[in-house]
Amino acid sequence: MKLYAEAADSGTRLDVWLARRCDTLTRSAAGRLLEQGAVTVNGKPALKSMRLCGAEEVAVDLPEPVEPDARPEDIPLDVVYEDSDVIVVNKPAGMVVHPAPGHPGGTLVNALLYHCGGQLSGINGAARPGIVHRIDRDTTGLIIAAKNDTAHQCLAAQLQGHALSRIYRCLTVGAPEEDAGTVNAPIGRSTRDRKKMAVTPSGRPAVTHWRVIERLRGCADLECRLETGRTHQIRVHMAHIGHPVLGDPVYGTAVPGLTGQCLHATGLRFVHPRTGERIELSCPLPEEFVRARDKRRN
């Protein structure tokens, strides 16, 4: 991983700066990496006490994170659809999809393991059983999980071939001039802030189709359809065209009264992996989204 110091970082200790820039590192962990020679500054090993000038390239050889095994937890779920092969849940805001460093429990996977009695596909390993796709922690709405490997493989192939369709609603800051459009811009990890994604030429292809549902005071209600599924895709693409998702604290600005971004996975379409039936599901907008929208109608 490469990071770049800026003028504002001048005088900051290297270990302190690394801990600030890397969400997975504490200051002591950054110090250990420096002592192990896993960090270089402008191509040369550096001491943790080094102070930055503000124009350095810092390369960090991060160890692979160890994901905790998921364990069943009795957490209530809003189940929209379920059979012996798949389950579709309306995920609430604040729920992480699967265990990860910093989030060992309380996740959707923990809840699914309890609800399904451990009957989930094992393709993604012990930390992410059943998970076919993900949505952000503070994004609400529909997410599908597979109960067996055959169903998982079928759904993953549909996701890759765009037969599994995901429809989102979002409120944006300001309204696009056009009534509909497509953002075709590659997304990759930001070189300036590892916690963020960004539109970058070296990123992976990403395509978002959008249309205006309603123009509101100072914002717009949009429907977005994903052709690809990159991390933070809608949030990054909307910010890229100058209309970040309302309440997004990472790619826009936090809004008083909102707990997170107004982004909701409202629709899901897929072909059932066993029957071949076309399944079309939807769920209502969350109350917070509706309140934010209605407030801006006046």
Instruction: For residues 39-60, give the mean pLDDT.
Output: 84
At residue 68, the pLDDT reads 53
Stretch among 19-28, 37-46, 92-101, 131-140 having the lowest mean pLDDT: 19-28
Q: Determine what percent of the chain is predicted with pLDDT higher than 90.
A: 63
- Structural domains in the chain, sorted by start: 2-60 (3.10.290.10), 65-160 (3.30.2350.10), 162-298 (3.30.2350.10)
Whether the predicted model's global pTM rises above the 0.85 cut: no
Range among 43-47, 60-64, 85-89 with highest mean pLDDT value: 85-89
What is the per-residue pLDDT across 238-283, written as a single tens digit (0 to 9) for each?
999 999 999 999 999 999 889 889 999 999 999 999 999 999 999 9
* CB within 8 Å of 193: residues ≥ 6 apart: 21
At residue 10, the pLDDT reads 86
pLDDT(186) > 80: yes
Cβ neighbour number for residue 174 with a 10 Å cutoff: 13
Which candidate, 43, 69, 75, 71, places its Cα nearest to that of 56? 43
- The amino acid occupying position 205 is P
Q: How far apart are CA 160 and CA 228, in angstroms?
A: 8
At residue 138, the pLDDT reads 93
pLDDT top residue among 233 and 298 = 233
Mean pLDDT of all residues belonging to the chain: 90
pLDDT top residue among 118 and 292 = 292
Residues forming the active site: 136
pLDDT(67) > 60: no
What is the per-residue pLDDT across 139-169, written as a single tens digit (0 to 9) for each?
999 999 999 999 999 999 999 888 999 999 9
At residue 189, the pLDDT reads 84
At residue 123, the pLDDT reads 83
